Amino acid sequence: MKTTTCIVGYNDREAGILYIGGDSAGVSGLDVRIRKDEKVFQNGNMIFGFTSSFRMGQLLRYKLKIPKQKSSKSDYEYLVTDFIDAVKKCLKKNGYTKVENNQETGGTFIIGYKDNLYTVENDFQVACDETDYIATGCGEDYALGVIYALQGWKICAKVKVQRALKCASYFSGGVSEPFKIVSLAYKENK
């Protein structure tokens, strides 16, 4: 089952900017609270957007110490090893991870690092999609459909993310405004 929320990532390769946007709903059953504590943020040289738990997001934002990448490792190798090791250590030390049937689990979140977007799944696998856009949460399918439909249109990337979130909030009871969007530039704009 998908968690309530919608987090959308978009890589504007032409401008050299990563965007991650998220909604503000805190949902429990049929109860919804609009939260001020944002589901999207920057920590060091990465941007994040989380689902699953506000506590997990708080730990990733305020407690996670992002390790330096060794020059001998590719971005992906660094993320699946050193970065994930640091995430697991942070979550475990602060009482967030669960171990069931010898399987350690956390939560789901999106990261923007250098010139790519990645999804970290509940089992700590790191996914890197072929597309320049990703989404997660209960509004995922709506958001992906909107961004797919807007490909090729001369619309700025931030507006694509906003429209994807708006569609998700229209069709999903687990997604609510206001929307927050963070960005990370990875190349000099001329």
Is 163 part of any domain?
A: yes
How far is it, in rounded angstroms, from Cα 44 to Cα 47?
8
Eight-class DSSP state of 83: I
CATH of the domain at 53: 3.60.20.10
Is residue 139 pLDDT above 90, yes or no?
yes
How many structural domains are present in the chain? 1
Tell me: the pLDDT tens digits for 94-106? 999 888 888 889 9
CB 156 within 8 A of CB 173: no
Q: Note the pLDDT of residue 102.
A: 84
Which has the closest alpha carbon to 115: 43, 31, 187, 29?
187
Is 41 part of any domain?
A: yes
Most confidently modeled of 23-27, 59-63, 102-106? 59-63
Tell me: the pLDDT tens digits for 69-81? 999 999 999 999 9
Helix, strand, coil share of the chain (percent; to 5): 30, 30, 40
Q: Note the pLDDT of residue 101.
A: 86
Is residue 186 pLDDT above 90, yes or no?
yes
Is 1 part of any domain?
A: no
Is 190 part of any domain?
A: no
- pTM listed for this prediction: 0.93
Task: Pick left, alpha or beta for residue 176 (phi over 0 → left; psi -120 to 50 → alpha; otherwise beta).
Answer: beta
pLDDT band at 89 (very low <50, low <70, confident <90, very high): very high
- Residue 45 structural domain: 7-185
CB burial string 59-70: b at 16+ within 10 A, e below: bbbeebebeebe
Is 156 part of any domain?
A: yes
Q: Note the pLDDT of residue 1.
A: 46
Q: How far is CA 175 from CA 85, 136, 158, 170, in A?
A: 31, 11, 18, 8
Is residue 190 pLDDT above 80, yes or no?
no
Q: What is the CA radius of gyration of the chain?
A: 16
How far is it, in rounded angstroms, from Cα 83 to Cα 68?
9
Q: Note the pLDDT of residue 189.
A: 53
